[in-house]
Amino acid sequence: MSAPAAPLLEVDGLRKWFPVREGIVVPRTVGHVRAVEDVSFSIGRGEVLALVGESGSGKSTTGRLVLRLLEPTAGRVRFDGVDLLGLGAREMRAFRRRMQIVFQDPFSSLNPHLRVADMLEEAMVIHGLEPDGAARRARVEELLATVGLRPEYGRRFPHEFSGGQRQRLAIARALAVRPEFIVADEPVSALDVSIQAQIVNLLDDLQRRFGIALLFIAHDLAVVRHVATRVAVMYLGRIVEIGDAERVFASPSHPYTRALISAIPVPDPDARRERILLGGEIPSPMAPPSGCVFRTRCPHATEACAREVPALEARAPGHMSACLRAAELA
Ligand SMILES: Nc1ncnc2c1ncn2[C@@H]1O[C@H](COP(=O)(O)OP(=O)(O)O)[C@@H](O)[C@H]1O
Ligand SMILES: [Mg+2]
């Protein structure tokens, strides 16, 4: 047996605190938004890690830190064994090609003044791919076909497309530079429900076909159910549960994950589960609760939960959760 290959992406102890400033003439820092707190995970080649959690839990910040679109307050990001945070701007360029992002809003992420073909060619030219013009134009047609769009659409501008088609274009642009890793940040949240599955399926197909690793960010667990290899659940800046997707869906360990899963509609009325309703709002990330950050909304919290920050602990092979009472509640 050969040694297991190192993961493509390794994130270790990531933290991002955004300073909050007050005062216009003499601004001073009055606190910090603790957007990401001690986040660690890895993604193997060709694997899909779904990162889920309510709005404001730190998912987008995590995605941007991983791509080094933001500098972390602490922690490490390794891609293909290289410490990205130690790289200068020039060295970072090669990695920029290998790691792409697809945003939630495909309209604001596409240049409205560029025809689609020019946009795709530009992505290749920037990274020195397909220097031959004829080959590049052929590749544009191939990319459009890959994402399910007709070749003549290359002559159109972004505003001439529907939301779903624009997201196909954003995916084509990411694929244009032959990435190994894509962060898809809520790629279907802005789309009509009827279109969402098409785009999720497209990402799933392409990810398999090209062996691309994917960090699939979503606020809704149902969206990632059929694409995720593994699932990480975030709450108030922290990963509270991470594990193989099947396992997390079948036997969620953390009370927060249980609540999220109980909220997924079930088509069969006989199989209806009891829905766990969470009281209250997510606390302010400027002043997170002591101990377990979830305790203020947790139906099982005890006094100990206010004192101790629960660490991620193994519940089964490849499955971890951060809950002091997990063993007892299992
Ligand atoms: N540039 C920023 N400056 C200050 N606060 C920010 C910034 N970006 C995000 N935040 C805050 O960090 C927290 C996490 O945000 P985000 O990562 O966008 O969460 P999510 O993607 O899960 O909705 C939120 O409280 C958000 O308001
Ligand atoms: Mg977000």
Q: pLDDT for 63-115, tens place per residue? A: 999 999 999 999 999 999 999 999 999 999 999 999 999 999 877 889 999 99
pLDDT digits (tens, 9 = 90+) for 206-220: 999 999 999 999 999
**Spatial distance between the Cα atoms of 122 and 176, rounded to a whole number of angstroms:** 9
Over pLDDT 70: what percentage of the chain? 97
CA neighbours closer than 13 Å in the CB half-sphere of residue 297: 21
**Spatial distance between the Cα atoms of 258 and 252, rounded to a whole number of angstroms:** 6
Q: Whose CA is nearest to atom 5 of ligand 1?
A: 18
Ligand 1 atom closest to residue 237's alpha carbon, by position in its atom list: 14
269 Cα–ligand 1 center, Å: 37
Q: What is the structure's pLDDT at 266?
A: 76
Ligand 1 atom closest to residue 19's alpha carbon, by position in its atom list: 4
Query: Residues in the chain with pLDDT < 50?
Result: 1
CB of 33 within 6 A of ligand 1: the answer is yes
Q: What is the structure's pLDDT at 269?
A: 64
Ligand 1 atom closest to residue 53's alpha carbon, by position in its atom list: 22
CB of 70 within 6 A of ligand 1: the answer is no
CB of 29 within 6 A of ligand 1: the answer is no
Q: What is the structure's pLDDT at 281?
A: 86
Sheet of 82-83, strand order: 28-43, 9-22, 74-79, 82-83
183 Cα–ligand 2 center, Å: 12
**Spatial distance between the Cα atoms of 9 and 230, rounded to a whole number of angstroms:** 14
Q: What is the structure's pLDDT at 263?
A: 85
Q: What is the structure's pLDDT at 4?
A: 61
Q: What is the structure's pLDDT at 66?
A: 98
| Contact (CB, 8 A) for 104 and 186 | yes
Q: How do 313-316 and 319-321 pair as beta strands?
A: antiparallel
- Structure tokens, 2: 């050969």
Q: What is the structure's pLDDT at 155?
A: 97
CB of 57 within 6 A of ligand 1: the answer is yes
CB of 61 within 6 A of ligand 1: the answer is yes
| pTM for this predicted structure | 0.95
**Spatial distance between the Cα atoms of 83 and 280, rounded to a whole number of angstroms:** 40
- Structure tokens, 312: 């991620």
| Contact (CB, 8 A) for 84 and 245 | no
Ligand 1 atom closest to residue 70's alpha carbon, by position in its atom list: 1
Q: What is the structure's pLDDT at 270?
A: 65
Residue appearing with tokens 């987008």:
60
Ligand nearest to the CA of 64: 1
- Structure tokens, 319: 């499955």
For the four alpha carbons of 148, 154, 155 and 161, in that order, the dihedral sign comes to positive
Q: What is the structure's pLDDT at 6?
A: 83
| Contact (CB, 8 A) for 255 and 228 | no
Q: What is the structure's pLDDT at 276?
A: 85
- Structure tokens, 231: 């699932």
